Amino acid sequence: MPLRKNVGGTDRLARGVAGAALAGLAVVASVTGRGPLAVVAAFAGGGLLFNAATQFCGVNALLGIDTCSRNAE
């Protein structure tokens, strides 16, 4: 089942930046011995990076939110 794109533009960029920041935080937290924070930051960052890469967000789909421009298709 193909995922219908529902993340685009500024929303996609913001998710990519926030995901990368959280991934960096996960690395720092892991190195400094803050395991629980590292795990939470890694999962959150990974989810946001997945959203940015695939342009799909399950929560957006459930709520009917679509920030993707359909003019380009």
Q: Can you give the pLDDT at residue 69?
A: 81
Number of Cβ within a 10 Å radius of residue 7: 23
How does pLDDT run across 16-58, given as a tens digit for each residue? 999 999 999 999 999 999 999 999 999 999 999 999 999 999 9
pTM: 0.87
Which residues lie closer than 8 Å to 56 by C-beta, 6 or more apart?
A: 3, 4, 5, 6, 7
Instruction: Please report which confidence band the pLDDT of residue 11 belongs to, taking 50, 70 and 90 as the band edges.
Output: very high
Alpha carbon separation from 65 to 11, 41, 57, 62 (Å, rounded): 11, 25, 9, 8
Q: Can you give the pLDDT at residue 71?
A: 54
pLDDT at 72 over 80: no
